[in-house]
Structure 1
Amino acid sequence: MSFSLYDAIIPGNLQIIGSVSGLVDKAVAFCADNDRAESDLIQARLAEDMLPFSYQVKSVAEHSRVAIESVRAGNYSPDTGAPPDSFEALKAKLADAAAMLEALDPAEIDGFIGNDMQFSFGEMVMPFTAENFLLSFAQPNFYFHATTAYAILRAEGVQIGKRDFLGQVRIKTG
């Protein structure tokens, strides 16, 4: 059985996008149950010099959907725009990313192998092959931001655990 680039990236991204969407649901419920303003959690940070929960969730979408779009174009440049400022908008951004990934043709993703790709930010340019960009840059960033979003909610007192982070695991069914 062969294991493809698609298999290495897309199912895991979909799993974690689903779990991060569930984390947003837990944040909504937490705010309602604890008389907390939505903005309290949206702007919450682990440390003063880290970006807030909303940015972490935005980045989950960025390093999944936008990473694939960027490989198609041959260049990834980070979106420096403001993150969504509501739970509803964060959920929509995640749903958009999941819908795009679900619609992908595995052959297209596997066809990226060997293509030139670059990361550019201002004057900085980092050359990659498409697969190395996806596996050594986009994917680690994706998991970093998902983990940080989880950690922010835990630090704020939201009752979540490891199962909330893992989401729907892909168990053997036959």
Structure 2
Amino acid sequence: MPISLHAAFVPSCRQIIAGCLNVLAKAEAAGIGDLAEQRLAPDMFPLAFQVQSVAGHSAGAIAAMRTGQFSPGGGFAMPSSDYASFTAMLTEADAVLAAVTEAEMEGFIGGDTDFVFGERRMPFKSENFLLSFAQPNFYFHAATLYGIFRNKGVGLGKKDYLGRPRIAV
């Protein structure tokens, strides 16, 4: 039986968002402050951009398939650089993902979704936008969020990033 677009995207995004929320909680408990300046490398975007991108490339990608257009940020404004704003944004993204149905997502297949950045436009079939653009970006920014705090000495391991896998019981 083929896997649905929903099954290929939504549960994994929700799993990793839960992991990101866990990472943020552990970083806050460890006392990591000055969040506006936290970044993995000097030439990389800061933590707030990573949080915005996790939300944008998950819940924002769903919204983009509804409208046919995605722009950087995915419809999420840059959050304030504090734990409460980061947590609220990722919690909102998770709620959006929890509400999308398999039937709606299957309806996106064959549609058009463009990535628009200034004058640049990249046309995609919606399923290819989701799986070849949004999903890899989602994982990149989630891993970068994890890496920022791991680099700052927060006691994190892979299980903190992965969240709770969907194991057979």
1:162 Cα deviation (Å)? 0.5
The alignment status of 1:163 with 2:159, answered yes or no, reads: yes
Does the 8 Å contact 1:43/1:54 carry over to 2? no
SS at match of 1:111: helix
Unaligned residue ranges in structure 1 (runs of 5+): none
The alignment status of 1:59 with 2:66, answered yes or no, reads: no
- The alignment's TM-score, normalised by the length of structure 1, stands at 0.92
Aligned to 2:23: 23
1:112 to 108, 111, 122: 108
Cα 1:42/1:24, change in 2 over 3 Å: farther
Percent of pairs identical after alignment? Answer: 49
Greater alpha carbon shift after TM alignment, 76-85 vs 52-61:
76-85
1:50 to 44, 53, 63: 44
Spell out, residue by residue over 1:100-145, the C-alpha distance to the aligned partner (whole angstroms, 9 max, x if none): 1101111101110000110111110000000000000000000000
Q: In structure 2, give the amino acid aligned to 1:155.
A: N
Unaligned residue ranges in structure 2 (runs of 5+): none
SS at match of 2:30: helix
2:71 to 72, 77, 93: 77
Cα distance in 1, alignment partners of residues 5 and 155 from structure 2: 35
1:127 to 108, 117, 123: 123
Cα distance in 1, alignment partners of residues 115 and 51 from structure 2: 21
Spell out the pairing of 1:25-44 with structure 2 (5 A cutoff): 25-31=25-31, 36=32, 38-39=33-34, 41-44=35-38
Aligned to 1:138: 134
Cα distance in 2, alignment partners of residues 103 and 82 from structure 1: 23
Cα distance in 1, alignment partners of residues 80 and 164 from structure 2: 25
- The alignment's TM-score, normalised by the length of structure 2, stands at 0.94
Does the 8 Å contact 2:79/2:85 carry over to 1? no
Tell me the C-alpha RMSD between the 2 structures.
Answer: 1.3
Aligned to 2:12: 12
Cα distance in 1, alignment partners of residues 80 and 106 from structure 2: 32
Cα distance in 2, alignment partners of residues 76 and 82 from structure 1: 16
Does the 8 Å contact 1:117/1:133 carry over to 2? yes
Does the 8 Å contact 1:71/1:117 carry over to 2? yes
Does the 8 Å contact 1:42/1:87 carry over to 2? no
Cα 1:143/1:55, change in 2 over 3 Å: same
